[in-house]
Chain A
Amino acid sequence: MALFPSTDRMKRYMRAMNAENMKEWKIELTYRVDFIRGMLEPLIFVFPYVLFAMSLMGGRTSSVLEELTGVSDGVTYTIIGYIFMGFLNTAVWGMGFALRKEQWYGTLESIFVMPVPRWVYVMGMALHSTVHQGIILFFQIAVVYVLFGVILNVQGVLPVLILVALMLISLVGLGLMVSGLALIFKEGWIVSEVLYSLITIVTPIAYPLAVLPPLLQKLSKAMPTTYAITGIRHFLIAENMEFPLWDAYSRLIVIGVCWVIMGLVIFHIVDRRVRREGTLAEY
């Protein structure tokens, strides 16, 4: 068997991914009120972090933050971190819960007997979640620009897109892992919530790496979100990075490859196990 699928087969996989993506869009757009709520909710989620920062600083600037990062505007610093962390949501909730939703609809078995590998289905869900989160991100940037007057360096947009793309590779791996684990644990929301909470704590979203205790700093350096968020802030608001830029790119690539391989392996093992045990369709 060839290591990589043929061009023809890849085309079929891409068609299946797109079909999954379109199916999700159709379901989402059927419930329009819920769709609008879903667009507004991530914005409301960011406000408490911003207001907390403002209540501590008594305004929007901090000399301590400037000393640590070179950025004095604590509001912009916090907002950038949290809106780009939204992509973590897509991995642990959007992708991770894809299979659980199909179990609930009662369509999981039908999808699993399709003539494409199961990971193709999860990748289709990843495509949908990424586009969805991308739209939310642009909406959030527009709103915070109006509300908080957040000024970003437009020239940094291209490298930021590269960093987001590299982070997404790792998050796809994480999504594969979570969706596999959801097949075993059934009530997989705990897996998603635990992973989301722990990654959020060790990622320097609204603070630099330097304020984390040494052990958490080490953990943080194994997270793709650390390099992506710090890099994104470096390009958009000139944050001083604690590691060279080349390190951010190279580590994102290495972590991405490792997490995707790990995700595929875990997903494959779980898929085989639930089929053998006959628990695939159990809700």
Chain B
Amino acid sequence: MFWAIFPILWVIPFIFQGEALVGGMNSPEFGELAGTERFVPFVLIGAIVSTYLFSSLYGMGGSIRMESYWGTLEYILGSPARKISVLMGKALSESISSTLFVATQMVICIFGFGLTLAVGKILPILLTMLLLVAGLYGMAIALAGVTLQIKESRSLVHTIEYLFYLFSPIRYPVGIHPLIASVSVIIPLTYALIAIRGVWLLNQPINALWRNIGILAVLDVVFIAFGYSIFYFMEKKVRKSGAVSQY
């Protein structure tokens, strides 16, 4: 319930802040950067899509940590199953629960905040979200590997979450500052949000967004390969040092 509702409630201070700064729900200055003057749908879509970010950051590393806490991590890593199957299983479970949260949030946004979504736009949005999830879980696999080594990775994950909020267009367009714009190019969330907002808010046809979707797909391959390599390396290291069972 918490994860289905609160990411949307966290947007409310931004709405009040916007009203206090521009006296309404539209800002021409915001429009110049974001392509839409309506900042409320912009931040709401950012909040919905960032649910997958929470899930990938906290879910995978957290589940490895919980296996360690329950004392079942050694059995899982020692089982004849391929590690990638174990990781994919965890990613699948996380992505299903996140999708349920996202669906609930969409309903809240449509009925509570007046956000509209044409049926024809659902498929391209789902396709983009799928690509985003693949990239984010690539990163999550790397974090799961890091968790094996450093054990208590929650603080690190918390900082990464804040950095993602800072350097990707979740709350504001990244064009606001050159440094933010240049860091955002390596974050999959940037391309996913541009594509999803393009379809959902700006009514752009999907073929106008192929460039962003293409880059997102390339980043997916890089993140998954990088994530699995990190996990493989960390797992070998932890096995050799005999620290698998340590909490």
Contact = CB atoms under 8 A, between A and B. Distances in A.
Do A and B make up one complex? yes
Nearest to B12: A201
A80 B92 CA distance: 42
A154 interface: no
Given A44-B163, A58-B32, A207-B17, A197 B10 contact: yes
Q: Which bracket fits the contact residues of A? A: 35 or more
A49 B17 contact: yes
Interface stretch (B72-80, B133-141, B173-181): B173-181
B54 interface: no
Interface string A44-80: 1101110111111111001011001100001000100
Nearest to A45: B162
Contacts of B155: 34, 37-38
Contacts of B13: 49, 200-201, 205-207
A38 B170 CA distance: 23
Among B20, B32, B156, find the residue whose CB has the most chain A CB atoms closer than 10 A. B20
Given A37-B155, A64-B22, A55 B30 contact: yes
Given A47-B166, A58-B29, A52 B9 contact: no
Interface in B1-20: 2, 6, 9-10, 12-14, 16-20
A212 interface: yes
B172 interface: yes
Nearest to A74: B21
Contacts of A48: 165-166, 170-172
Given A48-B172, A55-B176, A56-B39, A201 B21 contact: no
Interface in B152-189: 155-156, 158-159, 162-163, 165-166, 170-173, 176-177, 180
B126 interface: no
A41 B156 CA distance: 10
B114 interface: no
Given A48-B166, A201-B9, A206-B13, A65 B21 contact: yes
A208 interface: yes
B29 A57 contact: yes
A57 B22 contact: yes
Contacts of A41: 158-159, 162
Nearest to A62: B21
Nearest to B9: A197
B16 A51 contact: no
A64 B172 contact: no
Interface in A174-204: 190, 193-194, 197-198, 200-201
Given A44-B163, A44-B166, A48-B171, A53 B17 contact: yes
A211 interface: yes
A196 to B, nearest CB: 10
Interface of B: 2, 6, 9-10, 12-14, 16-23, 27-30, 32-34, 39, 43, 155-156, 158-159, 162-163, 165-166, 170-173, 176-177, 180
10 contacts: A48-B165, A48-B166, A53-B17, A57-B27, A62-B20, A62-B22, A74-B21, A193-B6, A207-B20, A207-B21
